């Protein structure tokens, strides 16, 4: 039995003996009279110090943070491979992982230390931590948590109260399905119902397909499967929504119509809360959901994940855990919210001290995460196929191309791209 498991066992004995009362603050697992120096891989030294480092070092003056800058990664390069080699060379104690894909790969390849035992030992409180964020973090192997993320973003549905009131239309509600949202949008005049933040019609089609568990390729990524009855149904839904149900994409070169007060609803990233003019009376609810997954978010995105490197020195691992605990604490969340009150912190209680219940319900109301379909194919395949799919879908929407012809052409082009070396 290793040391960490012995600690967990002893912790449970103490817990049962004391009645497992909730603690005001977690234990500190290190000797604060000793000096520590831990290395942190982060994309910007000054940004890290300003956002997290200075607050942590003030609270833990015996723990020195040494920055290791991020490796240079160009567009379309394999970020996982580059970061893996960089971590192997520099051996940082704390890793800031920029997205879920890197986190998932690092966790599955044994580069990260599971935090579950430390969470148990410390009785580290996660009751008010966004359960959807925890679901993302556990999904790497569906067992353990390998990192924590202080903040997140997700889409929400904004609505203009004045436009709804003037038309005597009930406001949108949390947990609406896509079909319910399309129907609501169709009540308004053409071009005034629902605006999507995305500027490509194809993004809606892709999301509707993903939510149904559809993939573009077979299991081993060698053959396309786009010309199917299931995908045809998705194309029909997306094309109908754009053609008849008052749906519009955002103009990439201009301000969204919603921010001008001319669109009734706006499905967009939560950071737009900061951009809505004070002249607009607005409300917000959750993004649309899949009727089979009523509490599941499709768009939940973590703003970077802090993790402990599995190859770090054992003594430094404990100091690294203290850092991760602190920057994911209510205290740190309050500091972030003092600077930007609309910041979606993973700590819900802290967010609610600065924001109303309506905002909190929209951001924290979906408590699980729709797993992405990870297909075994180079990114260049999707980039090439997307260009063709956008053209075909636009043709279907205008009526110049039939869905049958569009899918047949797309299937042919996909097979051609796959055959290219």
> If we measure between CA atoms, which residue out of 133, 274, 253, 123 comes closest to residue 199?
253
Is residue 123 left, alpha or beta, with left meaning phi > 0 and alpha meaning psi from -120 to 50? left
> If we measure between CA atoms, which residue out of 159, 178, 195, 182 comes closest to residue 241?
182
pLDDT of residue 198: 83
Contacts of 74 (CB under 8 A, 6+ apart): none
pLDDT of residue 357: 94
- The domains spanning 34-152+300-369 and 155-291+372-419 adopt the same CATH topology: yes
H or E element, residue 298 = none
Contacts of 275 (CB under 8 A, 6+ apart): 259
Phi–psi pair at 226, nearest 5 degrees: -105, -30
Which ranges constitute the DSSP H helices of 19-51?
Answer: 45-48
Q: Which DSSP category does 360 fall into?
A: H
Distance from chain centroid for Cα 199: 20
Given a contact cutoff of 8 angstroms between Cβ atoms, the answer to whether 332 and 55 are in contact is: yes
Q: Would you give per-residue pLDDT tens digits along the chain (421 residues)?
A: 454 444 444 444 444 444 444 444 455 678 888 999 999 999 998 999 999 999 999 999 999 999 999 998 887 788 999 999 999 999 999 999 999 999 999 999 999 999 999 999 999 999 999 999 999 999 988 889 999 999 999 999 999 999 999 999 999 999 999 999 999 999 998 778 999 988 778 888 888 988 888 888 887 778 889 999 999 999 999 998 888 767 888 776 778 999 999 999 999 999 999 999 999 999 999 999 988 888 899 899 999 999 999 999 999 999 999 999 999 999 999 999 999 999 999 999 999 999 999 999 999 999 999 876 655 666 677 778 888 998 999 899 889 999 999 999 999 998 988 887 5
The secondary structure of 319-346 as a DSSP string is: HHHHHHHHHTSHHHHHHHHHH-TT--BS
Distance from chain centroid for Cα 407: 30
**Cβ of 226: how many Cβ atoms within 10 Å?**
25
∠ CA 281-299-51, nearest 5°, is 80
Q: Which DSSP category does 370 fall into?
A: -
Contacts of 410 (CB under 8 A, 6+ apart): 226, 227, 385, 388, 389, 392
Burial class of 261 by CB neighbour count within 10 A (0 to 12, 13 to 18, 19+): middle
Rounded CA-CA distance 123/157 in Å is: 36
Phi–psi pair at 357, nearest 5 degrees: -65, -35
- CATH topology assigned to domain 34-152+300-369: D-Maltodextrin-Binding Protein; domain 2 (3.40.190)
Number of H helices, E strands in the chain: 17, 13
3-state SS, 125-177, equals CCCCECHHHHHHHHCCCCCCCCCECCEEECEEEEEEHHHHHHCCCCCCCCCCE
pLDDT of residue 1: 46
pLDDT in tens, 316-333: 999 999 999 999 999 999
Residue 293 pairs in a beta bridge with 290
Tell me: domain 155-291+372-419, CATH 3.40.190.10, correct?
A: yes
Q: With b meaning 16 or more CB within 10 Å and e meaning fewer, what string describes 54-79?
A: ebbeeebeebebebbeebeeeeeeeb
Rounded CA-CA distance 53/61 in Å is: 11
Given a contact cutoff of 8 angstroms between Cβ atoms, the answer to whether 333 and 150 are in contact is: yes
Q: Domain residues of the chain, as ranges?
A: 34-152+300-369, 155-291+372-419
Contacts of 337 (CB under 8 A, 6+ apart): 343, 345, 350, 351, 353, 354
Phi–psi pair at 93, nearest 5 degrees: -80, -40
Q: How far is CA 181 from CA 3, 5, 122, 276, 306, in A?
A: 53, 50, 44, 21, 36
């Amino acid at each position: 039995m290793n040391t960490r498991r012995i600690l967990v066992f002893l912790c449970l004995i103490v817990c049962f003996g004391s009645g497992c009362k909730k603690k005001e603050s977690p234990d500190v697992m290190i000797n604060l009279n000793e000096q520590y120096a831990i290395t942190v891989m982060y994309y910007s030294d000054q940004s890290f110090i300003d956002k997290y480092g200075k607050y942590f070092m003030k609270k833990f003056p015996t723990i020195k943070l040494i920055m290791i800058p991020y490796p240079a990664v160009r567009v379309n390069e394999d970020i996982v491979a580059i970061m893996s080699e960089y971590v192997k060379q520099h051996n940082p104690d704390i890793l800031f992982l920029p997205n879920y894909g890197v986190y998932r790969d690092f966790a599955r390849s044994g580069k990260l230390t599971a935090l579950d035992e430390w969470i148990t030992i410390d009785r580290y409180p996660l009751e008010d931590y966004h359960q959807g964020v925890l679901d993302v973090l556990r999904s790497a192997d569906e067992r353990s948590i390998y990192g924590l993320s202080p903040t997140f973003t997700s889409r929400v549905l904004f609505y203009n109260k004045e436009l709804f009131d003037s038309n005597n239309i009930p406001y949108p509600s949390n947990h609406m399905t896509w079909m319910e949202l399309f129907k609501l949008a169709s009540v308004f005049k053409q071009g005034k119902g629902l605006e999507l933040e995305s500027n490509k019609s194809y993004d809606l089609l892709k999301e509707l397909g993903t939510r149904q568990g559809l993939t573009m390729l077979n299991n081993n990524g060698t053959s396309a499967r786009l010309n199917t009855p299931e995908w045809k149904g998705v194309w029909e839904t997306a094309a109908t929504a754009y053609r008849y149900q008052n749906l519009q994409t955002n103009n990439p070169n201009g301000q969204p119509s919603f921010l001008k007060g001319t669109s009734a609803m706006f499905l967009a990233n939560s950071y737009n809360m900061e951009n809505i003019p004070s002249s607009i009376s607005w409300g917000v609810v959750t993004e649309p959901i899949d009727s089979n997954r009523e509490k599941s978010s499709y768009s939940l995105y973590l703003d970077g994940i802090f993790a402990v490197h599995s190859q770090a020195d054992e003594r430094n691992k404990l100091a690294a855990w203290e850092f991760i605990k602190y920057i994911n604490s209510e205290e740190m969340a309050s500091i972030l919210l003092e600077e930007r009150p609309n910041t979606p912190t993973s700590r819900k209680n802290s967010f609610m001290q600065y924001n109303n219940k309506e905002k909190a319900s929209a951001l924290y109301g979906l408590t699980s995460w729709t797993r992405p379909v990870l297909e075994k194919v180079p990114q260049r395949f999707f980039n090439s196929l997307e260009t063709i799919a956008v053209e075909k879908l636009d043709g279907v929407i205008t009526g110049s191309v039939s869905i049958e012809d569009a899918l047949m052409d797309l299937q042919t082009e996909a097979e051609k791209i796959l055959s290219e070396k």
